[in-house]
Amino acid sequence: MDDKNPKSSSGRFRKWFKRKHKKKQADPCYNQDELSDGGDDFMEDVYVSSFEMDPCTSTNELRIFVGTWNVAGRSPVGSLAVDLEEWLKPQDAVDIYVIGFQEIVPLKTRTVIGAEDPKKATNWNLLIGKALNESFGRPWLTPMLNPISSDSYHYAEVPVSEKRASFSAISDNTPMRRPVTRQRHHQQPVIGGSKYKLMASKKMVGVFISVWMKKELLKKYCVSNVKVSSVACGIMGYLGNKGSVSVSMLIEGTSFCFIAAHLASGEKQGDEGRRNHQVTEIFKRTSFPRSAKGDGSLHPLKILGHDQIFWFGDLNYRLYNLEDNLARHLIKKQDWKALQEFDELRREQEDGVFQGWREGNIEFAPTYKYSSSNCNRYSGGLPYRSGEKQRTPAWCDRILWYGKGVKILSYLRSEIKFSDHRPVSALFSTQIEVMKSKDSRFSSKDTSVPNIMPPEPIGRSRNNEEGKLAVFNCKGYRSIISTHTKSVDKPNECGFS
């Protein structure tokens, strides 16, 4: 079709649209239903069900605390609550806490190949809830019987009187359901008057993730599609002594993915390659379940389909081609910049499996391996001690992120001497997109899932009905054009055909 010919149907449409748009400039968020008011005379050939206009949006800030800690198979004890509070530093400015643990159970044959025991995860959740809520004077009540570990986690229904008018892709009359899970006899903390709500929790052998959010945010924003996934890639490539647990969620128009991982250990030749292979497997095999039929929202199914991604855990990357005594000398001098020249993960960020991912400035000592609990001395070194493992200290515990709208505010380690690792935390300022359009059907953001490999140019949709063409503008908003008897082969304004 000739878009430039004023006698053509599309030309008349463009002329009419400019006239209508000029009248509406004082109100940029006008109802896009008015796009169909142009009459039937020029709609014989092309019917536009959704024009590729950017919806009116605003960006709001969320502050997210991400923490990771390998607890070396030790059980949480009551006295640890004080240490946890010191690590998490509960403060009103933090909107979401995302905490990943490794080795919450000893990695023995019985725990690796046996049935999952949710008690350890429950105990950690109770301790986290106590640390987050009681510091604000909020009671952390007795736990009740209710599942907390699931493959698909949904919220309890929010009273209508508390709901904020939301224009996200999920409709307001969609029921908010309580958790549905295969396991039905775990314990979940009763939130009651608490400040932070447990949103999602997932355990796989010793890897564990726990996500908490301010309760007031559930009234302010539309939070939906909370899903979990796990990938076991340890012994034989499929046992859960190594791998990841992930949480995906949608806050208004922004999708988040949090991945807590425990990768292969070792500092011998070839160990870095095993870690890289596991990262690739996690990218490939992490998949979040599709939304229930009738849910209008488009939610990412794979890690790289999300807007903002946080990958953290005991990633086990070591210092390569560096003698142990020289590493300890640089640590003693606190020459972190020189030490990072030998860091494997930095190499992977430059040209490897984490290329393009970002990390905060490391201005703290390596977090692994300490001689024992309650000890500030690294394992190994001289003089040699009988029965002590020889390990060159390394920054094994890391926090990475990927995506736009993320700014790191702090990157720290804590000095809790509970295990042979020191916990690490990062505080992020993130921007979320809040929709303002009056009808979400005309402003839903396409969240098609890219592969691990670079995505192909966006163009024709593979899943459209016959006789329809999907085109995208530069910000990803989709239009469906029914071509009826005429074909449309010209590229759109972005150059996609």
Please compute the mean of the pLDDT values over residues 350-357 and round it to a whole number. 97
Looking at residue 15, what is its pLDDT?
A: 59
Looking at residue 140, what is its pLDDT?
A: 53
Question: Would the pLDDT of 275 be above 70?
Answer: yes
More confident residue, 462 or 295: 295
pTM of the model: 0.71
Looking at residue 213, what is its pLDDT?
A: 96
Tens-digit pLDDT profile for residues 333-344? 999 999 999 999
Structure-token match 């995860």, residue found = 121
Tens-digit pLDDT profile for residues 220-271? 999 999 999 999 999 999 999 999 999 999 999 999 999 999 999 999 999 9
Question: Would the pLDDT of 199 be above 50?
Answer: yes
Looking at residue 487, what is its pLDDT?
A: 36
Looking at residue 270, what is its pLDDT?
A: 95
Q: What percent of the chain has pLDDT over 70?
A: 63
Looking at residue 281, what is its pLDDT?
A: 98
Looking at residue 390, what is its pLDDT?
A: 85
More confident residue, 432 or 371: 432
Tens-digit pLDDT profile for residues 80-101? 888 898 899 887 889 999 999 9
Looking at residue 22, what is its pLDDT?
A: 52
Tens-digit pLDDT profile for residues 32-42? 333 333 444 43
Looking at residue 371, what is its pLDDT?
A: 86
Q: What percent of the chain has pLDDT over 90?
A: 51
Looking at residue 56, what is its pLDDT?
A: 74
- Tell me the average pLDDT of the chain: 74
Looking at residue 464, what is its pLDDT?
A: 39
Looking at residue 7, what is its pLDDT?
A: 54
Tens-digit pLDDT profile for residues 98-131? 999 999 999 989 899 988 888 899 999 999 999 9
- Choose from 7-16, 163-172, 204-213 the range with maximum mean pLDDT: 204-213
Looking at residue 297, what is its pLDDT?
A: 58
Looking at residue 165, what is its pLDDT?
A: 33
Q: In the chain, what are the domain boundaries?
A: 57-135+194-435
CATH number of 57-135+194-435: 3.60.10.10
Please compute the mean of the pLDDT values over residues 431-453 and round it to a whole number. 52
Please compute the mean of the pLDDT values over residues 471-481 and round it to a whole number. 37
Please compute the mean of the pLDDT values over residues 413-423 and round it to a whole number. 94
More confident residue, 56 or 290: 290
Please compute the mean of the pLDDT values over residues 358-380 and round it to a whole number. 90
